[in-house]
Structure 1
Amino acid sequence: MAPAEDDISIEEKRVYAGSAGRTDAYVATETGVVRAAISGDKIGEFELAVRAPARDVAVLGRPGTADLLAVATAEALSVAPVGDDPAFVPAGIGPAVAVGVHGGAFLVADAGGAIHRVDVDAEPGADEISGIDASRIGSVDDPRAIDGPLVAAADGVHRVVGAVGPSAVGGSPTVEAAGLEDARDVAGTGVPLAATSTGLHWLGNGWMTANEGDAIAVAADGDGHAMAVVDGDLRVHPGADGVPAAPTGGVVDDGWDADAWTDASLPVEERPAALGYGPGVSVAVTDAGTLCVDAGDGWRHQALGVPGVAGVALAAVE
C-alpha cells in the first residue's frame, strides 16, 4: 500500500526514526491485520501483514529482542516474532475472540468463553518460535476484550489472579469475577478501567462511574494517560501528578471522575473503534479504517482502506 500523503521521504524517515524512534501499529480488521509504521506523529508505509479476518491482536514486549505478535481469528490464535515477514505458529487454541498480555505471557479468550494462558518460547533474536505452552485457566460468558489481568465479558469484568508467565512460581492462575455487567473493553495497566453499556468506570473503592453513556473502548498507558470512546465521542484523561496508578485498585482518589476527562476531536468525522498507546504516542483507529496518531502536537491521520476495525496493538521497532 502507498505511504501517507503527508509522510516524509524514505531518506528523511530513516533520520527521523533515528531520533524519534519507530513504532509499528498492528490493526485487526475484517480484511486482515494491517501493519503501519509510525515515527513520532508521522505515519509511514503500511501493508496487509495477515490476510485473514482478525478479531483481535496483541504485542508482547521483550526487551533486547523482537517482540511477539499474537493474532486472534475465527480459525485459531497464531503467534510470531515481530518482523517484516512474520512466521506464524498456531497456539493450539481454536477460534479466538480476544487476546492480551499479562505477566510475560499472552492471555487468550476462545469462542466458547474459555480463558487460556499462552507461554511462548523464542530465542532472543530468532525469527521463529521454538515452542508454545497453552493452558486453560478459567472461563467467562461471551468474552470481548483482554488487557493486562482484566477480561471484559457479557457477565462483567473478570480478573486473572495468581502467577502468570514462564517464570511464575507458586499457584496456578485463575479467573475471578470483578463486578459490573456487559463490559465491552478494559484497560488493566495502572488504575483499572472498564467500558460498559452504561458508561466508563474506574476502580477505586469499588467501581466508580467516570462517564455515563454507551462506552465501547478504553486504553491506558499506566502513567495516568487514558482514552475512551463514550457515545461515539473520544474522551481523554491527560494524566496528572498525584493521580494514583495502582494495578490492584483500592484507590480513594477522585482524579478519575468525570471532571478529569476532556473531549478530544479526531481530524476525521468517523467513530473511533480501537485505542492504544505506544512509546510517546496515542493511537485511535476509526471504524472506517482511519489510523490517527498523536505524539503531543495534535492528531495526524491516514486512511488504511480496511473497515471493520476490531483492535490495535503497538510494537516498538527502533
Structure 2
Amino acid sequence: MAPADDDISIDEKRVYAENTGRSDVYVATETGLVRVAVSGDKVGTFELVGDRGVVRDVAVFARQRVPVVAAATEHGLYVGPTGGEPRSVDVGVEDPVAVGGTDAAISIADADGTLSRATVDDDGTPTGTHRVGRVDGVTAIAGPFVAGRDGVHRVDDEPTERGSTLVSVGLDDARDVAAAEMPLAATATGLYWLGNGWMPAIEGDATAVTAAREGAALAVVDGQLLAHETGETDWSAVAWAGTALPVDERPVALAARPGLAVVVTEAGTLCVEAGDGWRHQALGVSGVSGVAIAPAE
C-alpha cells in the first residue's frame, strides 16, 4: 500500500528511526491484518500481512528474545515474529474470536467461549496448549483478564493439578479490558478500575479501553475518546479528560505504550500521538476490530 501523504522520505525515515525508534502497529480488519510503520508521530508505509480475510483480534507479546504477533482470524490463529509474515498455527482452536494473554502464554477464545492457553517458540511454532475454561461471549483478552458478556474473568496460573484456572472477578457485559499496572474494564454501564473491587470511573456506554505503564490510558465512553494522564495515580472521573481526534470519526480500537498512543476509527483511519499532537492516515480498510503495538526497533 502507499505511504502516508505526509510521510518523510526513505532516507529521512532511516535517520528518524535511528533517533526515535520505529514501531510496527498491527490493525485487525475485515480485509486482513494491516501492519503500519510508525516512527514517533510519523505514519509510514502500511501493508497487509498473513492470510487475507476477516481478522477478529490481534495482540503483540513483547517477549525478551523475539516479540510475537498473534491474530485471531476466520481461518484460525496466525502467529509469527513481529516484522515477519504471520502464519497459520494449529493450537486446537478452530474459530478464534479473541487473543491476548501474557508474554509467557497466549490466551485464545473461540466462538463458543472456550478459553485455551498456548505457548509458542520464537518463530511462532506451538509448543503446548491446554484448555482453561469458558467465558460467555468473549469480547477481549488482556494479560490475565478476559472480558465477556458475563463480566470479567482472570486466568490464574498458580500451579494446581488442573493447571491454569479461570476465576470470575465481577462486573457484567464487559466489552474490553486492560491490564497494564491498573486493570481497567469497559462495560455497558461505564468504565471501571480495580481497587477494593471494581470502582466506577466514568458512567456511560464504554466500548474500548487500553493502558500502558506509568498511568497512561485511553478509553471510549459514549463514543468520546478519553485520556488518563501519564503519571496520574487517581483513577476516578476527575483524572480523565476528553481528547479530540484530528478526524470526525468514531474511535473503535485503542493501543498505547509509554510515549505513544494509537487510535483506529470506525472508518479505518489510524491516529497516532507521540507528544506533539495527533497525526493521522486513512488505511482504506473497514471492519476494524483491534490494534496492537510492537516494541520499538
Q: Which moved more, 1:89-98 or 1:197-206?
A: 89-98
Instruction: Report percent identity of matched pairs.
Output: 56
C-alpha separation in 1, matches of 2:84 and 2:146: 30
2:53 is aligned to 52
Matched residue type, 1:21: G
Among candidates 176, 185, 203, match of residue 194 of structure 1: 185
Question: Pick from 163, 172, 180: which aligns with 1:181?
Answer: 172
Is contact 1:78-1:91 (8 Å) kept?
no
The aligned residue for residue 140 of structure 1 is: 135
Shift of 1:103: 4.8
* Deviation (angstroms), 1:79: 1.3
Normalising by structure 1, we get a TM-score of 0.89
Give 5+ residue unaligned stretches, structure 2.
none
Q: Is the 2:70–2:86 contact (alpha carbons within 8 Å) kept by the matching residues of 1?
A: no
The amino acid across from 2:295 in the alignment is A
Deviates more, 1:276-285 or 1:190-199: 276-285
Residue 148 of structure 2 corresponds to which residue in structure 1?
153
Name the counterpart of 1:308. Answer: 287
Give yes or no for contact 2:216–2:257 (8 Å, CA) kept in 1: no
Map 1:1-318 onto structure 2 (within 5 A). 1-50=1-50, 51-63=52-64, 65-122=65-122, 128-163=123-158, 172-240=163-231, 243=233, 255-278=234-257, 280-318=259-297
- TM-score, L = length of structure 2: 0.95
More off after superposition, 75-84 vs 103-112: 75-84
Deviation string, structure 1 residues 123-180 (Cα, Å, up to 9, x no partner): xxxxx444431111111111000001111100011111124xxxxx666211111111
- Structure 1 runs of 4+ off > 6 angstroms? none
SS in 1 for 2:294: strand
8 Å CA contact retained: 1:23, 1:278: no
Quick check: 2:68–2:81 contact (8 Å CA) kept in 1? yes
Return the offset for 1:94.
1.1
Which residue matches 1:166?
A: none
Q: Is the 8 A contact 2:57 2:98 kept in 1?
A: yes
Deviation sequence 1:46-65 (CA, Å, 0-9, x none): 011131210000111122x4
CA contact (8 A) 1:91 1:132 kept: no
Any conservation in 2 of the 1:59–1:101 contact (CA below 8 Å)? no
Contact map agreement 1:23 1:279 (CA 8 A) in 2: no
Give 3-state SS (helix, strand or coil) of 1:35's partner: strand
Summarize deviations over 1:173-207 as a string: whole Å, max 9, x none: 11111111000000011111100011111111111
CA distance in 2, matches of 1:205, 1:129: 38
Shift of 1:111: 0.8
Compute the displacement of 1:91 (Å). Answer: 2.6
Contact 2:177 2:209 (C-alpha < 8 Å) held by counterparts: yes
Deviation at 1:316, TM superposition (A): 2.0
Which amino acid is 1:191 matched to? Answer: M
